[in-house]
Amino acid sequence: MESTQSVINLIDLAETPGTSGRSVSVQVLGRFQPGILTGHDFLDCEIVIVAESVNATFPVTLLPEDLEDWEDALAELASGRSAMWLDSGRTPSMNFKPDESGGLLVSVHDGPETGVTATVPLFVLSSAWVDEQRDLLTRVREIYPSEVVETSPNTYKWRRATRS
């Protein structure tokens, strides 16, 4: 197993310094069940919203396919289209809507737990924000590589024979 990691961001959307200070992030806290085949590759995370009148945290467990879905969502966003992520109904969902001025409207809907929706307009993002999010995704995958394979329905094994 990997050593204990510090919190890293999978998503880090923040307005440039000196502006409103609004941000939306998804922080990876670690593996959900390290060393247990059925939960090892799941990631324990938090969606964190910081705005003038709202500071909210939504716990979420990400599956390996959620990372693939985030990669697909980034492709949509790179082409200027809106994207929905985590819309399975088992976790809070996230909706990303670019605007004509280069800003982004981010909504988090916590349907499974509280029913709360928080929407944060981010007006002043870096011009390379999509590439920055792709870099964060790559970093998360490097730190938390997929180490479990499902060989048949509900049958799992480690990808490599020796675990350190």
Q: What CATH number is attached to the domain comprising 123?
A: 2.30.31
Q: Which carries the bigger pLDDT value, residue 76 or residue 161? A: 76
Residue 83 is assigned to a structural domain of this protein:
yes
How does the average pLDDT of the chain come out, rounded?
A: 91
Tell me which long-range contacts 106-115 makes (C-beta under 8 A, separation of at least 24): 106/13, 106/24, 108/24, 108/47, 108/49, 108/56, 108/58, 110/58, 113/58
Residue 92 is encoded by which pair of tokens?
A: 């809070």
Query: Would 2 be classed as within a structural domain?
Result: no
Domain range spanning residue 153? 8-157
If one counts the domains in the chain, the total is: 1
pTM: 0.90
Which of 25-34, 113-122, 136-145 bottoms out in mean pLDDT, i.e. has the lowest? 113-122
In a domain, 28, yes or no: yes
Residue 163 in any domain: the answer is no
Q: Tokens 């200027």 map to which residue?
A: 80
